[in-house]
Amino acid sequence: MRLYQKSLIPISGVIYGQTIYWLTLLSSCLVLLGTIISFLEKDSPIPANQLLQSVIDGKSVDQIWHGIGLSAAPDMFFFLANPSFGESITMIGIGIGVSSVVPATFFSAYFLKKSRNPVFAVLAVMAGLLTCFAVSGITL
């Protein structure tokens, strides 16, 4: 008699879940590391203690960035250009966590196709492409 029965979860669902799991775990480690570094570093262009105090004081977004000395809120290119700052590591970690659904969807589509579910495989690819299009910010 077998101790374990065959799993009822399709392999595509397991692959999707495992991809989300591991990328989220990586993301949370990067966010934690970036937060610790941002509080320890002295010469950051975005001082974490001043940023946190401004948020606690209830200042608006424009007031926060003007108080720090930046004319506007930094965009993603600022964080990618300065990957050694703690805030940049934190933002990259958040980006990985949020976008982890994209590779998970494409991996799941591959295993849906292998398990002879072509309709769901095509729908998964379409969902992945739609997500990539939405993240790109391109407007029609």
pLDDT tens by residue, 101-119: 999 999 999 988 888 888 9
Range with lowest mean pLDDT among 37-51, 66-80, 91-105: 66-80
52-91 residue pLDDT tens: 788 888 888 777 777 776 666 666 677 777 777 888 888 8
Q: Specify the pLDDT at position 93.
A: 92
CA distance 50 to 29: 23
Please list, in sequence order, all residues whose beta carbon lies within 8 angstroms of the beta carbon of residue 129, skipping any fewer than 6 positions away: none
Please list, in sequence order, all residues whose beta carbon lies within 8 angstroms of the beta carbon of residue 119, skipping any fewer than 6 positions away: none
The amino acid occupying position 41 is: E
CA distance 44 to 50: 11
Residue 118 in tokens = 């072509």
Please give the helix or strand (H or E) that residue 92 lies within, else none. Answer: helix 86-99
CA distance 38 to 66: 19
What b/e sequence results for 9-43 when a residue is b if at least 16 CB atoms lie within 10 Å of its CB, and e otherwise?
A: eeebeebbeebbeebeeebeebbeebbebbeeeee
CA distance 58 to 77: 27
Residue 110 in tokens = 């591959």
